[in-house]
Structure 1
Amino acid sequence: MAVSMASPVCLVDNGPDGCMRVQQEALQVLEQIQQPVVVVAVVGLYRTGKSYLMNRLAGKHTGFALGSTIESKTKGIWMWCVPHPSKPGHTLVLLDTEGLGDVEKGDEKHDTWIFCLAVLLSSSLVYNSMGTIDNTALEKLQYVTELTEHIKVKSSGYDQATELMRVFPSFVWTVRDFTLELIMNGKPITADQYLESALKLKPGHTAEISRHNQVRQGLRDFFAERRCFVFERPANTKKMHRMEELTDADLDSDFVEAAKEFCSHIFSSAKPKTMRGGLGVTGRMLGSLAETYVEAIRSGQVPCLDSAVESLALIQNGRAVAEALEFYQREMERGVRLPTETQEALSQIHSAAEKQAVHIFVSGSFNDQEHKHQIELMTIMQERYEEWCRRNVLESRRVCRGVLSRVCAALDEAVVGGAYTRPGGYDAYCGDLKEATQLYRAEQGTGLLREEVLTEYLKEKSAVGENILSADRSLTEAQQRMEVEKMRRAEAEQQRRLLEEHNRIQQQAIQDQQRSNQENMRQMEAKMEEERLRAKEELERVVSAKLKEQENSLSEGFKERAGQMQAEVDKLKQEQQQRQQQAQQQGSSWLDTTADVLESGGMAAALVPGWGLAGLGSMVVGKVLRWLK
């Protein structure tokens, strides 16, 4: 469901106890968003114009509070959800964070947690600063150096920085009121080159050099993708006091152009939010993540990425099953009118409801290990379909017997009254029985057991017909033998009709199961392929960043660091090969597991002895009719 908010709401603030909390109003908004989300968070020192950029991304001039004084306007983290302008089926979630370094707060730890939450929740992190990217500006970004202390991955065998790089957002540095010319060594450079030049490391091991390199190395180690945009001053000081009232025509044209370029980059390049391994995140999952991380901070723990995945899977998969089942039941109750004329009619309603229910589950599920929850959904839906089939059979039998009782009432009354015990009575009996049978078959709304119930009735009347025939003295012995033969042919024809009816039901049941399996596998394989591709992109992004870092380290004289990069790349490539093998095995395992579960649950095609006269059954209807014996 797409959600478009008229204005931002607070996502995270401090409660009366001074501890962070997640606001229910924001969670209620996120709860409605079952689409993938592209999350863009902005951080930076207070009063640097962060909110203005967020408003531009929302396509508005107003929304996030701008302010025109030295007082910090934004407190905590504020959220604005709008339809993504260039990614259909996605929601753009904008997070405007409290300004860092506000002297009135005097709480550096609070600033660190705000920064960490912005990193953990976003898929693109915008760092906004004023002036230039120099040593002073980099020192104000000391929060980067504390990320490994405040965020845990809980995995082994890999470098911690590599693990964080896999899940961290892209990094965009926006430099406001930039007055320098982008020229280096007499040649023009891009803003991205300007940033990378500022992040160069100094060789040496003194305390001063270590301090110089700390933030720079952190940015290079944690953020695989880095971009930079520079903005000239938007307008003169008087105009800037009323920025919310200004249109683009009132602003410096170079500033407007830079803002458009920045927004275009975010819209086209910012990826949907994912967790480690390419697991996609929806709006409601983002809300759960925010709660998980804030609760960890409140309890004095360090937010753990793997624990967040486990927690999210626990919450989302159970809810996805429940919502899919609720939808299926609602659609069946809305669409089914018992008895259905054929098994196909019930199957069509079931098929449409099941397909959408599986889509609801697949869209809402998260890291469903070994597809346990999807198999649970398939099993329960099959059980509920069986119950609908059982009710359909019961209702069809009831209606058919009622119709037979009505159309055969005169016939039965004549038999009891001895009206056919006379010369020519057998011919009259056969004619009345044929007429009653025709009336019965012409009746609408009797359901799928029309021939089954008629066969039972004709079987009951077989002895009656034989008695009337033997008592009819108007027939010669040869004529009676001919009538007996005709009676046997009629019974055989009725058996043929019954067999056709049973076969239709059986074949439909088999088709239902095959279609159900195929639909479940189609949708899950599509989701698995999406996650596999995202996981592949995640690895390739990190490998590319490591190779680039290796090249930069060599050019800067850091051979040991370059060797470390190569070792990490080798491990990542090995992991990539293992993932490809696992993906193939998982596909085969999914098919095998599904087949085993379906068979053990009694849903595989099988003949069920003792069904009516034909002794036939089906994987669903045969079971239902067996219950009725």
Structure 2
Amino acid sequence: MDPVPRMVSPVCLIKNEEGKTLQVNPEAERILKNISQPLVVISIAGPYRSGKSYLMNKLAGACGGGFCVGDTVEAKTKGIWMWCIPHPEKRDHTLVLLDTEGLGDVMKIEKQSELSILTLSVLISSTMIYNSKGVIGQEDLEKLYAVSEYREYLMDRESKNTQEDGEGVEPEVIPLFIWVLRDFSLQLEINGRPFTEDEYLENCLKDIPNAKSLKMQQKNMIRQCIRAMFPTRKCFIFGSPPPSNQTTELRPPRDLNEQFTRKTEEFCQYIYDNVEAKTLQGGQTVTGSILWKLLPKYIKAVKSGDFTALETSISYLAAEKNEKCIKSATNLYEEKMKSKSVHMESEFQELHDICMKEALQTFQRTYFKHKKEENRKYEDALKAILMEKKNSFWKLCEESSLKVCSDLIQQLAKPLEKALHENKYHVVGGHGAFTEEKNKFVSRYNQECGKHVKAEDVLQAYLKTMDNVEKIIHQTDTKLSETKKRKYKVDDVGDSGQLTDYIRSYQLESKTHQRLLIQVIGFTGHGKSSFVNSCLYTVHSKSFENHAAECSTTLNRRGYQLTESITIADNRGFHPMDSSVMNEIYAQLGGFVPLNQPVIWGENKHLPLTWANSSVPDLVVPVLICRATYCFNNKEFQEMKQFLKDSQKITKILPFVVITNKLSGSSDYLEGQFFQMGIEKIYALENYTVQDHDRVRQKHLVFLKFLYDVLQTVDFIFK
């Protein structure tokens, strides 16, 4: 909070000049309007020349100077004087000390001004100190009772608060009342029983028992009104200082007795510890800037005696302050909302919630607290404004995002739109090609930044426009595929042309798999890669190419697209057969190891045979490659037999066996061994190689028959 403007001495707060009305001193106004801290306001009243200024100076910690004191019968203080200092113990609070004009000055012509000063001090203060000499007398009680108009206003409000259920009704904040008795020389005891200072005060304010006369009843009414007007009370009694020709205020501390000094310190410490900041009805803490605005209204109310108008004035003041607080909180909300970009509606809502919470907290810290119903009214007004701002921000976000996303889609969808315009997807396999291109478009769209809140809505709206187009493409593709299947029927398995057309046009009938994956497995160096090259060569009928890197060790699991629906995979070869190698082969067969990634033996240990990755959309056909010159011993025979059974468990298809290099050895014996292992489909053949790839009809026919049998087996399983 802002520091308190330095005041080296008190200034007049309320001028009380003879023949003129009470006025606020402009110099004091300038000081107050620059204090944003809560004010702890201590005012003192009482008969003139009773030592009021001395107590105020002690509270200010002044060693010299301060409030004016004197040693003559002339009253020194006129009006109300103010001294603002940092509070000695309450951080960020300002202690405001008010020394009022003494009561009972015989030189005064206008006695009404005394009542006005006293009433003003009650209105302004957190604590009202009444300072008098000797015992509490009836004259002092009557002076306090004389604050009649304000007293009646308070009593009227108290009555209303009692009658109503309390909802929306705030009690009036009444200052703490302290009676200071100076030069008290009597013993504090009644009927031999010692009394405390506070008990003495309460005893003096008690009703006179058996008050039957009108005069006694009036005295009791005065006591009752004082008790009602000051419900919280405290008393300090100062004994007489040692005799001197100087007043107490002008004596050096060494000339005062220890008891008097100790009582003064006790009085000051009580004020520091117990007096809170000045608050208004509703709990609003009064700062210097608020008191500056209230002072003219207080004076007007005291002058006219109409304190209900004061309540209206405070309502106007609250309205003025709260309108500014609403505007400030709204500006804070707007700044916070503009400071961060959001990409989804949920992010926008989260940002709004955070900014709205911070704006409401700021408002609640700074707003002018008044009546409960008015407080709620201002807070509800702020919430309504913030919701309007939220809707405006959301509309701007939507409009900006819609334009960015629409422009982006128009740009990214050009290849797809062009292909649609040229009917490129109205062919066999067109739906798959369309889906692939659409997915590429979606991926590119999602990778772009800066789309913000309408990104998903705009994308889905565009894809929705493609639904009918995709439906037509799918219907056309299905119809053409069925026609093609009927057209490419194999009547003669010895006709390589029919076999080639059938394989090229083959469509997988399984609804749960997207492609047929021929998994080529086998011993290292037995011709797996050459077999893959040969299949690609015979189906595509193009020039021979060494796709599978023949004559090099296959360490990766690579896939090659044979047709639109068929992929052939060249897996890493094994030798010898052991558990770590077999587990890795099982992982490849089950789709656990992705295509086109390195295969490291021993990574997949202790895998159950039922673990196959069902999420992989491949229908797997296992094909074992074995060279004709190979011969299994008894141990290897049993291991291979078990391996082939396990492969069937994983893929649900009995493995095919291809014996390569049939001219280099006796393939009949090896075929017999595989038959004994339970294998039904065995093919002995010679691979096309890099050194020998001249087209040979019979060679072509063997590979085509193998692929045809694979497809027939797959169709048989799903039919």
1:387 maps to a residue whose letter is: S
d(CA) in 2 for partners of 1:478, 1:316? 85
Q: Mark the CA change 1:2 to 1:192 in structure 2 (over 3 Å): closer, same or farther.
A: farther
Deviation at 1:442, TM superposition (A): 2.2
d(CA) in 1 for partners of 2:126, 2:69? 27
Deviation at 1:451, TM superposition (A): 0.6
SS of equivalent residue, structure 2 residue 20: coil
SS of equivalent residue, structure 2 residue 450: coil
Is the Cα contact below 8 Å between 1:39 and 1:123 reproduced in 2? yes
d(CA) in 1 for partners of 2:18, 2:126? 31
Is the Cα contact below 8 Å between 2:5 and 2:35 reproduced in 1? no
Is the Cα contact below 8 Å between 1:2 and 1:83 reproduced in 2? no
Deviation at 1:468, TM superposition (A): 7.6
Deviation at 1:113, TM superposition (A): 0.3
Q: Mark the CA change 1:215 to 1:322 in structure 2 (over 3 Å): closer, same or farther.
A: same
Is the Cα contact below 8 Å between 1:145 and 1:218 reproduced in 2? yes
- In structure 1, the partner of 2:523 is none
Is the Cα contact below 8 Å between 1:171 and 1:226 reproduced in 2? yes
1:172 maps to a residue whose letter is: I
Matches within 5 A, 1:427-506: 430-460=435-465, 476=481
Deviation at 1:452, TM superposition (A): 0.4
The answer to whether residue 236 in structure 2 is matched with residue 229 in structure 1 is yes
2:148 maps to a residue whose letter is: T
- In structure 2, the partner of 1:343 is 345
d(CA) in 2 for partners of 1:50, 1:401? 80
Is the Cα contact below 8 Å between 1:141 and 1:215 reproduced in 2? yes
SS of equivalent residue, structure 2 residue 146: helix
d(CA) in 1 for partners of 2:16, 2:77? 13
- Relative to its length, the structure with more helix (as a share) is 1
d(CA) in 2 for partners of 1:348, 1:434? 31
RMSD between aligned alpha carbons? Answer: 5.0
Deviation at 1:119, TM superposition (A): 1.6
SS of equivalent residue, structure 1 residue 18: coil
SS of equivalent residue, structure 1 residue 364: coil
2:373 maps to a residue whose letter is: Q
Deviation at 1:106, TM superposition (A): 3.3
Return the structure number with greater relative CO, CA threshold 8 A, min gap 6: 1
The number of equivalent residue pairs is 473
2:299 maps to a residue whose letter is: V
SS of equivalent residue, structure 1 residue 95: strand
SS of equivalent residue, structure 2 residue 452: coil
Is the Cα contact below 8 Å between 2:405 and 2:458 reproduced in 1? yes
The match for 2:386 among 381, 385, 388 is 381
- In structure 2, the partner of 1:19 is 21
Q: Mark the CA change 1:357 to 1:438 in structure 2 (over 3 Å): closer, same or farther.
A: same
Q: Mark the CA change 1:93 to 1:13 in structure 2 (over 3 Å): closer, same or farther.
A: same
The match for 1:170 among 163, 169, 176 is 176
Q: Mark the CA change 1:433 to 1:129 in structure 2 (over 3 Å): closer, same or farther.
A: same
Matches within 5 A, 1:179-578: 179-182=185-188, 188-196=194-202, 198=204, 201=208, 219-220=226-227, 222-232=229-239, 252-270=257-275, 273=278, 279-283=283-287, 286-298=291-303, 301-304=304-307, 306-317=308-319, 319-337=321-339, 339-362=341-364, 363-369=367-373, 371-406=376-411, 408=412, 411=415, 414-415=418-419, 430-460=435-465, 476=481
1:176 maps to a residue whose letter is: R
Q: Mark the CA change 1:403 to 1:267 in structure 2 (over 3 Å): closer, same or farther.
A: farther
Deviation at 1:111, TM superposition (A): 1.4
d(CA) in 2 for partners of 1:364, 1:153? 23
- In structure 2, the partner of 1:98 is 101
Is the Cα contact below 8 Å between 2:49 and 2:102 reproduced in 1? yes
Deviation at 1:294, TM superposition (A): 1.4
Is the Cα contact below 8 Å between 1:123 and 1:169 reproduced in 2? yes
Q: Mark the CA change 1:11 to 1:454 in structure 2 (over 3 Å): closer, same or farther.
A: farther
- In structure 2, the partner of 1:497 is none
d(CA) in 2 for partners of 1:315, 1:380? 21
d(CA) in 2 for partners of 1:23, 1:465? 86
TM-score where L is the length of structure 1: 0.60
Deviation at 1:173, TM superposition (A): 1.3
1:374 maps to a residue whose letter is: E
SS of equivalent residue, structure 2 residue 98: strand
SS of equivalent residue, structure 1 residue 153: helix
Deviation at 1:262, TM superposition (A): 1.6
**Which runs of 5 or more residues in structure 1 are unaligned?**
490-629
1:190 maps to a residue whose letter is: T
d(CA) in 2 for partners of 1:383, 1:46? 61
The answer to whether residue 112 in structure 2 is matched with residue 109 in structure 1 is yes
Is the Cα contact below 8 Å between 2:188 and 2:200 reproduced in 1? yes
- In structure 2, the partner of 1:148 is 148
Q: Mark the CA change 1:118 to 1:401 in structure 2 (over 3 Å): closer, same or farther.
A: same
d(CA) in 2 for partners of 1:76, 1:52? 17
Q: Deviations over 1:274-324 (max 9, x none)?
A: 566x655533655554333212344xx2042x4433442343146325413
d(CA) in 2 for partners of 1:239, 1:93? 25
The answer to whether residue 128 in structure 2 is matched with residue 125 in structure 1 is yes
Q: Mark the CA change 1:376 to 1:75 in structure 2 (over 3 Å): closer, same or farther.
A: same
Q: Mark the CA change 1:210 to 1:458 in structure 2 (over 3 Å): closer, same or farther.
A: closer
1:231 maps to a residue whose letter is: F
SS of equivalent residue, structure 1 residue 366: coil
d(CA) in 1 for partners of 2:379, 2:482? 68
d(CA) in 2 for partners of 1:403, 1:48? 87
SS of equivalent residue, structure 1 residue 374: helix
SS of equivalent residue, structure 1 residue 53: helix
Deviation at 1:386, TM superposition (A): 2.0
Q: Mark the CA change 1:13 to 1:229 in structure 2 (over 3 Å): closer, same or farther.
A: same
TM-score where L is the length of structure 2: 0.53
Q: Mark the CA change 1:12 to 1:27 in structure 2 (over 3 Å): closer, same or farther.
A: same
Deviation at 1:454, TM superposition (A): 1.1
d(CA) in 2 for partners of 1:190, 1:296? 38
Is the Cα contact below 8 Å between 1:339 and 1:396 reproduced in 2? no
d(CA) in 2 for partners of 1:90, 1:347? 39
d(CA) in 2 for partners of 1:288, 1:323? 17
Q: Mark the CA change 1:171 to 1:239 in structure 2 (over 3 Å): closer, same or farther.
A: closer
1:315 maps to a residue whose letter is: L
1:256 maps to a residue whose letter is: T
d(CA) in 2 for partners of 1:197, 1:4? 41
Q: Which has the larger radius of gyration?
A: 2
Is the Cα contact below 8 Å between 2:70 and 2:247 reproduced in 1? no
Deviation at 1:251, TM superposition (A): 5.8
d(CA) in 2 for partners of 1:313, 1:445? 49
Q: Mark the CA change 1:341 to 1:21 in structure 2 (over 3 Å): closer, same or farther.
A: farther
Q: Mark the CA change 1:461 to 1:217 in structure 2 (over 3 Å): closer, same or farther.
A: closer
**Which runs of 5 or more residues in structure 2 are unaligned?**
164-170, 485-504, 515-719
SS of equivalent residue, structure 2 residue 234: strand
Is the Cα contact below 8 Å between 2:4 and 2:35 reproduced in 1? no
1:147 maps to a residue whose letter is: V
